[in-house]
Structure 1
């Protein structure tokens, strides 16, 4: 099938399937177009996280990422702490919405043992459903292995799992690695189903640990990331890449619907990051009181000053090879791929009604 045929069939499917499974864009869904009441009296006490740099709060090794370099973390916690932003990231806001403290990164488990009661974050920046940088980064399967080892060691009990919420946020790096390693946009039509199928296998495995609720993110519009929009001076998203992302998200919703039907439970929900991002980035939308509007939404706050430079890069003498905007709160994107804290807060705001509804479902 040619890409043009794929896109045509994709949009035909959208008109039929989205009407049945997507529902309101700013809500959590079980993939079947309606929300269900949760377990009576359920109160989440822990958050477990699997994913990539959108969810990582300090797992990535310092030798592998600039997220441990200044100016990362300048807004929160005031210094670099491994988060790929100037401050808080998706994990922090999901934890907040659930009334929980941000769980400790897996890499800090021994030095922060007292914080194990909040859950644990297994997300590593740069990782994917499959391997993205060889053995340097644990893919999703390996992250779940880490989790299973802790369960087998009785670090977490069956009750801990039954009183927890799981956040899953990844897949963008799989497609970036595919294209960087010689893959083509046309080739994505065969690769996307492979990624979603493996993601579904992993979601089923997590569900078998008896975690009550799993939140998996729909993929953000990759064609709107600054590393892509820099080709148009940060003026225009790449619609071809975004169409591929929409196809991924369609298959993801179908997979979630199938899993929920197979288990006879509605314990997996899709969090629509795609719609949230595009709502904020589309300046035509009249957002509440204009508080979520950013002057140049596609332009990042922190930019490398050379072709091979990125935010946080230094030369051999320690000289900065990047520039930072005067006010990170004025920018949606922090660097070439990640939102600022203000950006994540805006995303959370657009999703707030859905988040609140999800919490009500948990507690009803």
Structure 2
């Protein structure tokens, strides 16, 4: 007859062995199920981002930009985080559409290593395809940063084949050109050079193995508050938008030619039409102020986020950022980007970025 005290000692051990056995059976079943259903273990889709302030989520240095100062970020994430808006920007909405988390900014890759599986954002506010007045990496250098990470083994060939690239070219090259050239006569030739360099950049990203590449068309620069301020924010500048149309026509032609060689690997994100649709029908998107910015300096010496030598704020913020399309003189609010995103969806303009 078994001693009762010995029985009491063996019972927990037997229970533990039974639990381990059943756990092993379940893990084996899950492994077999994964082998039979490869979609259960598909790698995470990745988003790689290149460009400027329309896509930057925190790469620009704090010493260079008001985007790290109040009141930027008041809507999301609730404090300044480097985004050129009161909240989310284009990158956040493209990531949302793809079903991934917003990729980590390159400068925070070591602090946010757990999010590298969603891709990486190399965009820096103020930069262009060429060098501009902003001392940040132009797009060629941004692509080199990804090349180095691939060389270092951070991303593999299989990572790249399951990735999408977003390329933002929002006009900093043109701002720099106009600021440094006395005559605008050479502008058409410069537009062609910007599109040609953009095309080379797209080809270089594709050569890394990225599955799909989307490049934003130029938004209506003539409708930005820094331009419409001359009409008291009443109307867009037609001459500026004519330049935009020329850029976008060349870009569309270039992408069409690329797709003939690379079987529809490239797509143009039609930001021009989506911006104009929202600006022409603002109340449809719950926008009340379509051209007047929400955050402005108290006078021409200051801008959104400026403070004086006594750290006294020298800007004004509108009562309801959700009712404004533009946040500052150049960038949309979160509500503005959300309206553009919804318009892109209804235009079926986002279907081309899936794979």
**TM score, norm. by length of structure 1:** 0.83
For 1:292-331, list aligned pairs within 5 A.
Answer: 292-331=285-324
Q: CA deviation at 1:200?
A: 0.4
Alignment-derived partner of residue 8 in structure 1? none
Matched, 1:258 2:252: no
Matched, 1:194 2:193: yes
Alignment-derived partner of residue 97 in structure 2? 97
Q: Say if 2:44 and 2:117, in contact at 8 Å, map to a contact too.
A: no
Question: Could you tell me which of 323, 333, 358 is aligned with 2:352?
Answer: 358
Q: CA deviation at 1:74?
A: 0.2
Aligned residues: 314
Q: Say if 1:126 and 1:137, in contact at 8 Å, map to a contact too.
A: yes
In 1, Cα distance between equivalents of 2:341 and 2:295: 22
Matched, 1:349 2:342: yes
In 2, Cα distance between equivalents of 1:355 and 1:192: 24
Alignment-derived partner of residue 246 in structure 2? 247
Q: CA RMSD in A?
A: 1.6
1:271–1:183 Cα change, 3 Å: farther
In 2, Cα distance between equivalents of 1:343 and 1:171: 16
Question: Could you tell me which of 266, 269, 277 is aligned with 2:267?
Answer: 269
Alignment-derived partner of residue 54 in structure 2? 54
After superposing on structure 2, the runs of 4+ consecutive aligned residues of structure 1 that deviate more than 6 Å are 41-44
SS of 1:269's equivalent? strand
In 2, Cα distance between equivalents of 1:209 and 1:132: 26
Q: Which segment is superposed worse, 307-316 or 174-183?
A: 174-183
Q: CA deviation at 1:184?
A: 3.9
For 1:10-49, list aligned pairs within 5 A.
Answer: 45-49=45-49
Q: CA deviation at 1:133?
A: 2.0
Alignment-derived partner of residue 33 in structure 1? none
Q: Say if 1:88 and 1:341, in contact at 8 Å, map to a contact too.
A: yes
Q: CA deviation at 1:251?
A: 0.3
For 1:69-148, list aligned pairs within 5 A.
Answer: 69-133=69-133, 136-148=135-147
Q: Which has the larger radius of gyration?
A: 2
For 1:332-343, list aligned pairs within 5 A.
Answer: 332-343=325-336
Alignment-derived partner of residue 6 in structure 2? none
Q: CA deviation at 1:152?
A: 0.3
Offset from partner CA, 1:303-329 (integer Å, 9 cap, x none): 111212110000010011110001100
1:133–1:92 Cα change, 3 Å: same
In 1, Cα distance between equivalents of 2:271 and 2:117: 28
Alignment-derived partner of residue 222 in structure 2? 223
In terms of fraction of residues, the more helix-rich structure is: 2
Offset from partner CA, 1:320-362 (integer Å, 9 cap, x none): 1110001100100000000000000000000014255336x52
Q: Say if 2:50 and 2:139, in contact at 8 Å, map to a contact too.
A: yes
Q: CA deviation at 1:70?
A: 0.2
In 2, Cα distance between equivalents of 1:171 and 1:339: 12
Q: Which runs of 5+ in 1 are unaligned?
A: 1-40
